[in-house]
Amino acid sequence: MSEPVLQTENLTKRFGGLTAIDNLSISLSPARIHAIIGPNGAGKTTFFNLVTGLLSPSSGRIFFRGRDITGCRPYVISRMGIKRTLQVKSVFPDLNVADNLWITRQARNRFLNPFRAAAGDRDTRMRVEQTLEQIGLTALAERPAGTLSYGDVAMLEIGMALISEPSLLLLDEPTCGMSPAETSRAVAKIRDLAHTIDIVIIEHDMDVVFGIADDITVFAQGAILASGNPAAIVDDERVLEAYLGRPEDEDFMEEALNA
Percent above pLDDT 90 for the chain: 71
pLDDT value for 119: 52
DSSP 4: P
**pLDDT at res. 159:** 94
Which domains occur in the chain, in start order? Answer: 1-80+200-259 (3.40.50.300), 82-165 (3.40.50.300)
pTM: 0.87
pLDDT for residue 48: 97
Q: What is the average per-residue pLDDT within 99-116?
A: 71
The pLDDT value recorded for residue 127 is 93
More confident residue, 89 or 122: 122
Which among 196, 199, 168 is positioned nearest to 187, based on CA atoms? 199
Compute the distance between CA of residue 79 and CA of residue 95 in angstroms, rounded to an integer.
24
pLDDT digits (tens, 9 = 90+) for 50-96: 999 999 999 999 999 999 999 999 999 999 999 999 877 789 999 99
Q: Is the pLDDT of residue 1 over 80?
A: no
Which contacts (CB < 8 Å, 24+ apart) does range 95-98 have? 95/144, 95/145, 96/141, 96/142, 96/143, 96/144, 96/145, 97/132, 97/137, 97/140, 97/141, 97/142, 97/143, 97/145, 97/148, 97/156, 98/128, 98/132, 98/141, 98/142
pLDDT average, residue stretch 179-197: 92
Is the pLDDT higher at 162 or at 123? 162
Answer with the residue of higher pLDDT: 244 or 66. Answer: 66
pLDDT tens, 147-159? Answer: 999 889 999 999 9
Q: For residue 236, what pLDDT band results from cuts at 50, 70 and 90?
A: confident
**pLDDT at site 109:** 61
**Could you tell me the pLDDT band of residue 115, with boundaries at 50, 70 and 90?**
very low
Over the chain, what is the mean pLDDT?
A: 88
For the stretch 205-216, pLDDT in tens is: 989 999 999 999
Task: Label residue 238 by pLDDT band (50, 70, 90).
Answer: confident
pLDDT given for residue 256 in this prediction: 53
